[in-house]
Structure 1
Amino acid sequence: MLDLVRKIIRLIIPFYLRNTIRRLIFKKFRKLGILFFLRPLGFITCKSYLPVNSLNKESFKECIKKSEIIEEDKIKQAYYIEGKDLDLLQPFVAKTHTVIIEISNGGFSFRNNHLLDKNLNIIGEFRSEESDKFRPLPIYSQVLERPQKLQGTVAYLSDPAPGNYYHWMCRTLPLLKAYQKFFDFSEIDFFYLGKFQISNFHQESLTQAGIAMNQINQEACIGDKMLIAITNRTCRSFGDPINKEAFMFTRNLFINNCDFINQPKNNRRIYIQRGNVIGRNVINEIQVMELLNNYGFESVPMDGKTIKEQAELFSQSAAIVAPHGAALTNLLFIQPGVKVIELMPYGYVHDCFYVLASHGEANYFCLQGKKINHRNYDTRKLDIYIDIQNLDKICKMAALDKI
């Protein structure tokens, strides 16, 4: 009977709304103090979120602020036709401030993909009010895992969404660069990844970084010594761009160790299919591909390819067209001068791939789809309907000749 009720709820109430209701329940229970009485039963939840720059003296008492890394990167001009809020894609200076903290206090723990202090407050990077409202952390509506004690040094290598290809390659994996600056890797016994399904690309990149799988810990834990790198990025209403150093770290893991980098760049033009995913599909993809075929583009799926195979494909292409999605993370591997056209849903703007293209010295163009009726209220998941005349127009703007 209970399973039937759950199935009915899933059919009637959208996923995003179910999550919203769940978060509101947890928030209300915290406010009323109900969760406190449930703790003896093992129902332990987090408290507040503390950005690293607001840690109080008590929290820092037994921590050693190892060092700070401050960077500023100039982001190039973006090109576009018309679209809702696309004028936000203007040149800017991306600023990042990374703090590396060494902890020797057993009151801290890694669990539910975060660092928590002894009062179960979440310690992390600055989050805007908009992020908390529209992209709240999963930990807000989770029961906390019970940590195990590990002997040795444990370094944080996690993220609220480490299973996501972009998050892993651009935000999580580059944390290793921060640790390398101030610690010998032989000093680190374990890396805390948190709970998620490890994919082939996680294993491939960890191996490439010289980390053995027996050093990976996904369970909540407390180490004799704990390391965490926390990065605050430029606060923008439509993105949180990665820094050039993070870009170069992940890029060099693969590009520097591959023979294809010495091959001359060819004139290959590729259209990246969205793949087997839910949401943000190009509705009129057949028409899009017909138009792009006139410009010499070939359609290429990313599903099933290794990181090395994707890196080779992107590094050897002169022009890339793709809908907004994880496949564009491979802009990490492009060569200077490549032309990139990103297709976005109507009313949605995000700068993550625009910034990657800038770091890679590409010429970046953005085309927003037409407004369509859609039941999904999450703009990040909206499907895309491309105006073919506008696609032709932006191909000409990119100085692509028909073949």
Structure 2
Amino acid sequence: MTPENLKLQAELAYQKGDLAAAATACQKGIKINPSQTSLYGLLGQVLWDMGKTAAAQRCYEHWRQMPPEIVAINPEAGAYFDKANTLAIAGKLSEAVASYEQALQLEPNYAVAWVNLGIIQRKLGNIDEAIGCYRRACAVNPNLVDAYYSLSNAWAEKGEIAQAISCCIQALEIKPDFEPAYSNLQYLLLQQGKIESAFPCALHILPVEVLQEFYPEPFPIVNNDDTEWVSLRQSVHTSTTIYLTPPKTIDENVHRSFNWRRYIYPSTFIAQMPGGRAWGDAYTAVITADNQLVSEVARGSAELILTSRKLPEPTHVEGNLAFLSVRGGNTYYHWMADLLPKFELLHLGGMDRSKIDYFAVNGYDLAYQRQSLELLGIDPHKIIPSSQFPHLTAKNLIVPSLPGNQGIMTQWGAEFLRRQFLPAAAKRNFPEKIYISRQTASYRRVVNEKEILDLLLTWGFVCVRMEMMIFAEQVAMFAGAKVIVAPHGAGLTNTVFCQPGTKVIEMFARQSVSINYWLIAQLVGIDYYYLLGDSLEKYYLQRGEEKPPCNHPLYEDIYVNLEALGEILRLAGVGS
């Protein structure tokens, strides 16, 4: 058993209160790999709870003193490394180079020292020397993300764009959610004129055509043969169609995004896969025991998961593991629309929840994740967060399909959420007219929100911030609301809890319109309106400022015309 497996075993035992079993698992893991830093911290916590405070303190002390990379066996090399870092911070670059070189003479396999030396060489304008340092770091430690990322930057500076893209891909092989690599890829692909391939990178999607062209070796043929896979699955829903009514707007013509007159939901299924493995993080991938990628449940760049030679070894789970993690599942909307309805799929597919040993979900750290699972009656001891254990294998992997197309709520999914959460909603008086603010968000904010609020207050609206409310309060507030005004954002997910006839006015940046909440309105019977914002360039021009760059239209801020907002409020019949 690997240290990673023993860490999972220890954490689950600790959650169940079995301190002796948790301590034993930690000690076994440390014996196999004494440099497994996290095991010392967990063992310290277990020993403290057992009342063995002296042993716990020794564990904690050992944990704190462990360096992030245990390669500088020679203490003198470590001292030179620390001195070099101090000199680099002080701007004494030539002296820092000399100290890094002294550390590497004593310990040639000190990968982090090679990376840091390369960074200083690049600052000094010695680009070829920097590339040599980064390549040496990659050779010494092929799983060091920073080495490939730094090498990518150096190749890009030298104009070797194909080499730079290849290094970004190698960084993502190790850490598929590594944000800087996606930013680099978008920039590099745009430089090559590959616009259609570049923009998905802003959404953490690595297009297959980029892998095929720039993979450091000939890209292997991905086997998507579903012949055996079909025999493992059980159908739950057949394909269904809903018919749509256009949204209401003050514009002369309805935006082309709303030209749908019907929407077809795909069929759903559950599969049981003995010996299957799964990855749940920036991407989701399910792979059969004979190494076939299940394309029907793959999202993001699942092909990279199948072919990567550098992912952490999978953690094995004995028993039945239901893999529920979804791409984007650490955001409120995808958690509600894509992940939670999978519990209903398990039920509809005849799966007895009590016989499922573990549930893999994206995370358990966020308040709404814990609170919604608690309301569903899920034992927290059965939760395995993909954020901590992205790579899993199981004796029997249970895989529900997505409820529908990714990011699109289904009729039965909406009914499930209402049935499960409306009865438990907090009983409290909430305002009937609400405006949902995104001012604390990092993107898609209303740039003139103060003026918007001044207007809405005269119409009797109250400004609310969803991050300040517990999950049950959000459900209750939307269940009692009569009018909701909001910029496009995850807070509108809660419209699934609205009463029929509730008026919802959604505001968009002109170049980024989404149908998600219009579709929810069709399912629930909401009176839905939308308003397109004005040009952001116009807003910043009026202020004498330059518009900040934005790497994808989805993240663009919104500038709302006050007259247009008043007009659509009157169209909706909202009394001032």
The verdict on a shared fold, with TM-score over 0.5 as the criterion, is yes
Distance 1:397 1:3, change over 3 A: farther
SS in 1 for 2:558: coil
The yes-or-no answer on 1:325 pairing with 2:489 is yes
1:115 aligns with 2:286: yes
Alpha-carbon spacing, 1:48–1:168, altered in 2? closer, same or farther (3 Å): farther
Aligned with 1:313: secondary structure?
Answer: helix
* Amino acid across the alignment from 1:77: P
Is the contact between residue 483 and residue 504 of structure 2 (CA under 8 Å) also seen in structure 1? yes
- Conserved? CA contact 2:249–2:530, under 8 Å: yes
| Distance apart, 1:286 and its partner CA | 1.1
Q: Distance in 1 between matches of 2:238 and 2:353?
A: 19
Change (3 A) 1:353 1:83: farther
Structure 2 equivalent of residue 95 of structure 1: 264
Match of 1:249 among 397, 416, 422: 416
How many residues matched?
369
CA distance in 2, matches of 1:305, 1:257: 15
1:204-243 mapped onto 2 (5 Å cutoff) = 204-217=371-384, 218=386, 219=389, 220-231=391-402, 233=404, 241-243=408-410
* CA distance 1:267–1:17, shift in 2 (3 Å): closer
Contact 1:163/1:198, CA 8 A, preserved across alignment: no
More helix by share: 2
Deviation at 1:17, TM superposition (A): 3.5
Q: Partner amino acid for 2:520?
A: L
Q: 1:77 to 1:101 in 2, by over 3 A?
A: same
> Distance in 2 between the 1:401 and 1:168 partners?
35
One-letter identity of the residue aligned with 1:342: E
Show the counterpart of 1:56: 226
Distance change in 2, residues 1:32/1:137 (3 Å): closer
Q: CA deviation at 1:256?
A: 2.1
Letter of the 2:550 counterpart = N
Of 291, 315, 323, which aligns to 1:148? 315
Bigger CA drift: 156-165 or 369-378?
Answer: 369-378
- Are residues 83 and 191 of structure 1, via their aligned partners in 2, closer, same or farther at CA, if it must alter by over 3 Å? farther
Amino acid across the alignment from 2:493: T
Deviation at 1:267, TM superposition (A): 6.7
Distance 2:217 2:252 in 1: 45
- Asked if the contact 2:439/2:446 (under 8 Å) is kept, the reply is no
Give the alignment partner of residue 32 of structure 1, picking from 212, 217, 235: 217
Amino acid at match of 2:379: A
Please say if residues 277 and 288 of structure 2, whose CA atoms lie closer than 8 Å, have aligned partners that are also in contact: yes
Q: Give the secondary-structure state (helix, strand or coil) at the position aligned to 1:167.
A: helix
Identify if the C-alpha distance between structure 1 residues 19 and 305 changes in structure 2 by more than 3 Å, giving closer, same or farther.
farther
CA distance 1:26–1:75, shift in 2 (3 Å):
same
Give the SS at the match of 1:341: strand
Alpha-carbon distance in 1 for matches of 2:496, 2:531: 21
- State which drifts further: 275-284 or 220-229: 220-229
Q: Highest Rg: 1 or 2? A: 2
Residue 281 (structure 1) aligns with: 445
TM-score norm. by structure 2 comes to 0.58
Q: In structure 2, give the amino acid aligned to 1:183.
A: M
> Could you say if the C-alpha distance between residues 84 and 381 of structure 1 is closer, same or farther in structure 2, counting changes exceeding 3 Å?
farther
With normalisation by structure 1, the TM-score equals 0.80
- Would the alpha carbon gap of residues 28 and 299 (structure 1) be closer, same or farther in structure 2, given more than 3 Å must change? same
Report deviation, 1:202. 0.7
The CA distance in 2 between the partners of 1:75 and 1:198, in whole Å, is: 37
Q: What residue is the counterpart of 2:5 in the other structure?
A: none
Could you say what secondary structure the match of 2:557 adopts? coil
Structure 1 gaps, min length 5: 37-46
Which of 352, 355, 358 lines up with 1:190 in the alignment? Answer: 358
For 1:271, the aligned partner's letter is Y
Distance 1:58 1:138 in 2: 19
In structure 1, what is the Cα distance between the partners aligned to 2:527 and 2:512?
Answer: 21
**Higher-strand-fraction structure:** 1
SS in 2 for 1:78: coil
Partner in structure 2 of residue 169 of structure 1: 336
Amino acid at match of 2:479: S
**How far did 1:343 drift?**
0.7
C-alpha separation in 2, matches of 1:343 and 1:313: 20
AA aligned to 2:365 is I
> Helix, strand or coil: the match of 2:313?
coil
Partner amino acid, structure 2, of 1:214: H
* C-alpha distance in 2 between matches for 1:209 and 1:232: 17
Counterpart in 2 of 1:392?
A: 566
In structure 1, how many angstroms separate the alpha carbons of the residues matched to 2:394 and 2:358? 9
> 1:69–1:178: structure 2 CA closer, same or farther, 3 Å change rule?
farther
Give the Cα separation in 2 of the matches to 1:19 and 1:293.
Answer: 44
Counterpart amino acid of 1:204? Q
Give 1:80 deviation, angstroms: 1.5
- Residues 79 and 347 (structure 1 numbering): CA distance in 2 closer, same or farther, change over 3 Å? same
Residue identity in the other structure for 1:300? V
2-structure distance, mates of 1:267, 1:276: 21
Q: State the Cα deviation string for residues 87-120 of structure 1 (Å, max 9, x = none).
A: 33145333222332332432x2112343123465
Q: RMSD over aligned Cα, in angstroms?
A: 3.3
Partner of 1:200: 367
1:208 partner amino acid: L
Greater shift, 321-330 or 294-303, is seen at 294-303
Q: What is the alpha-carbon distance in structure 1 between the residues aligned to residue 467 and residue 493 of structure 2?
A: 13
Judging changes above 3 Å, is the alpha-carbon distance between structure 1 residues 197 and 56 closer, same or farther for their aligned structure 2 residues?
same
CA distance in 1, matches of 2:312, 2:248: 46
Question: 1:187, CA displacement in angstroms?
Answer: 1.9
